[in-house]
Structure 1
Amino acid sequence: MRLRDLPHSGCVGVRVRPKSVSLTSPLHLGKIIMTSEVSRSWWPRALHLLVSGLLLSAHTSTAAYTVDASEPELETSQVEVVLGYNASLPCAIHPPPNDAPALTLWYIGSGEAPVYSYDQRPTSRPNRWSETRVFGERASYLPLEHPPVLHLTNVTTQDAQLYRCRVDYHTSNSRQAWVRLSVIVPPTHIEVVSRMSPVEVGQINDVVSGPGRWSSNVTIEPEEKPLVAGRRANLDCTVIGSNPPPQVTWYQQGQEVEPLRTEVQVGDNITVSVLLLDVTREHHGRQLVCRAQHPTLSDATLEDIYTLDVSFKPNVSLRLGRALNPADLQEGNDIFFDCSVDANPPPYKIRWLHQL
């Protein structure tokens, strides 16, 4: 643009192209030609237009560092991590030739405030900053990785966001990349819930709807406690939730035993098998197993194990100490006796009596 091309009256408009002037490039003012055709009265206005144009150029050149963050680019990196593990968010930007990063900023989505910055402008060493309310001390930038990554430790569910990385260069325009972090949360606990079937035994829909559709539980309980040696006891095995009713089998020390009876409560979908046991002291500590098997699902088997706790009166035995020989007892020597008591519950008191 030459000043002699300016009109002699009216307003003058100047359009400055943002990319035509660089802040680091020298301004070639010698290309502006001043001729005698321009009136001296136009010199102040021309100087004003020149300064305004320079200021506008500087403003637009600075604006080249601002990028549109309204929506992600077409290519968004995807990162998945399990809750509590570490994650690396890539800043997948192709750097311009013959230029180096000056400042790297990380944002959440299209937010305007950065949550992490890595300043590589000439200083004693790179300056790092992290928003404590977002990352705390868990974030660190690794610029030597290919591509560079923002490394997060001990990832939380709040870290599952869409992130934007923006890199400002020394002479080139800023560039940005998007990355979405997904956090996988594993199961914290497993709960088995028993549900009663809405179909009663004998109804038209009394069928199994598919494999694994058997939610039941099996429990063994004696009708009276405690179990006492010398008495008869009934033990109930209750199965809840099987439809059709299960096949119930009893085992004692690995051997199958026949139950006294088996009852089915149709309305409540409950099966109760009763075992009659003549309790002896030898039953103490033995295990009873009640096993319920679905009649149509061979793999659908549940069982409960019950350890018998039998109360019985003390059985006492008295003998000489093992180190003594009954045929070689001498007057004046010490004699030791062993008193063995077999009882359940264990005796709380033992008394020794002599010459009653």
Structure 2
Amino acid sequence: MMFPVETGLEFSGQAGEINNERHQMENLNLPVRNVFGVAGNKVQLPCDIQAPANDRVIMVLWFKGDVGSAIYNWLIIRSFDVRGSRDFSNAGLWSSPAALGGRAFFVYATTPAHLSIDRLEPGDEGMYRCRVDYEDSPTIHQNVNLTIIVSPQRPIIRDHSSRNITHIKETFNEGSDVHLRCETRGGRPLPRLTWYLENAVIDDSYHYDDKAGLTINLLNYPKIGRQHLDARLICQANNTNLVPPQTNLVILDINLKPLFVKILTKESKVFVDKKYAVECSTIGSRPAAIMSWWKNNKQITEVVQNYPTENNQSISILEFVPSIDDDGKYLTCRAENPSIHDSILEDKWRLDVQYQPVVTLRMGVTLNPDDIKEGDDVYFECIVKANPKAYKLAWFKDDKELKNNATAGIVLSDRSLVLQSLARTSAGEYKCLAANSEGKTASNIVKLQVMYTPVCKDGKSEVVVGALKQETVSLVCAVESHPEPLTFQWTFNNSGELVEVPQSRYIHVSPSEKSHSATETMKEYQQYHGSRLNYTPATEMDYGTVACRATNQVGRQLMPCLFQVIAAGRPYPLHNCTAREMSNSIESEEYLTKSSSGLLVRCLEGYDGGLPIYSYQLEVTGDEDENRIILNRTVKAGPLGATFEITELAAGRSYRLFIYAVNNKGRSEPTILEPVTLKGVAMYTTGNKQQDDDDDEDEELETKGQMMRNVSNR
């Protein structure tokens, strides 16, 4: 039971008594009970008031004073005085306003009884004495030493920049160190300052700053991880177990690195120009990871779709079309938390891109393609880029495949073509072709140009040209060369005398210029470089050999182009012509008759005019057609002379046959068979003419022989 200590009761009669006892108590050797109280809280000072048998308490007095002090400045506090009955309900209560005032209560119903003091103040500290008076028994004294403990202020938590971060969520990066400062002011005795991670002590190394009046604990906690997410860092200040410690805390908000990243759709092989959707996944980052795609350390920004994080997993899909250049490169998926500088994780995929060969042909790098001459060696390099590897490599010149032929100077190796001792025929368009399982590809064309001295066109180094006296013929010196000729030289040789023809007598002929020669031989030369000489023999001495040489930057033509200028004209008429009506019998070993009716016409050559006869012509006219040519036939000259087979003639009609020999000067006068009628087996011949005609023929043959002898003598 507790009685409030009343203020206002007077105990003046007892004051002197108490005062007189003061000196007596100084020498009492009493035990001391130590009691601790916390400022601002309540304390209980014990006092045993248990009375001996057959006795009773009549007064309890409390005194406060400093032990050993020379000045007895005691404040006498009489809690209650009961004489007579044990009914304490009529007890008088008084508390000194100068001491405890209304904060004190005496509680007698407990064992032991105690003086309860509320709202303790530091000034309440000291030695307290409890005096108990009994009705019959001697007075007893009990000493209580009250120590007042002052709690420290609530701690303050600061970051490295001294910012107060108490009771907030502070963000840190995974793997970083936590540097925090906890400080508290005051406290008696000085407090302990301890750091806790949740319920575990992690740092109790505090120190005192007397000048600032602070207790400080600097926390250095290394490498926090994802297990610390939302954990509490608690700073606790404590100097007694009587009251709970003063605490404050920081909640750890942690940026987390990605745990892993993986490309989910790696294929062993991909094909060029085919579209692929490449998927990449990452988990563990907080906040969500930034995902990106890279190819050989160059970021890909096109056609990338990133999806929102779900269940702590992030997805990125790249639409990717491989190219040939991607073969062997690495496609990389990267995940990173931008708040953490070393948080990048990568997964790489080495691309195996399948494609048909890419083929490039080039001439050897040490060669000058504009300075290659006959006799040089050249080589070509075929650069093949293919996946899978090419299983075939072929070489072509002018679309014709080349084979290895060391004898001909053609040497094929793995990726090169060597041409040894070049000839001018080696010039042309070269290419190579490679094939693999994806297809085959031909390279670009490299044109090989071989420089060589001029040579006569198509190897025609000698041409026979027939001319009559005072007839002008065009001699075209057509040559092949690379580069084109710079100059031409004409010479004339007659009976061993070599004469150079003045330049004013001949002109240059370009490939596009039309030849003005009337002969077929001259027309063949119009597409080549050359020189044209208009030559007119005037006397027998002007017949002979005309030579032409061309010179280009490589050199002078070794073998000249020769023109044998001879006295010549049109051929003489054919003779001994016969026309035999054909039957089913074999006429000779050379001629087989036809089953249908017709004519077999044969003639002998006369003098060829000094030039080879190259064809024979037959024209047929009919009396009923007013001598209009109804049939025209041409055959090439051969060793058997002029022979014609005619099956288009009708039986019973009369025809006239005109037969000619042809050389470069034109055709001869006609030999005429008439009349010719198909009636059965018969022969028509020119032998029925008069003897004068025979004599004329003999004279012409003699003239022909004389001309040939003249040519041979020259």
Q: Higher relative contact order at CA 8 Å, sep ≥6: structure 1 or structure 2?
A: 1
Bin of the TM-score, shorter chain as denominator length: 0.3 to 0.5
Q: What is the TM-score normalised by the length of structure 2? A: 0.19
Greater C-alpha Rg: 2
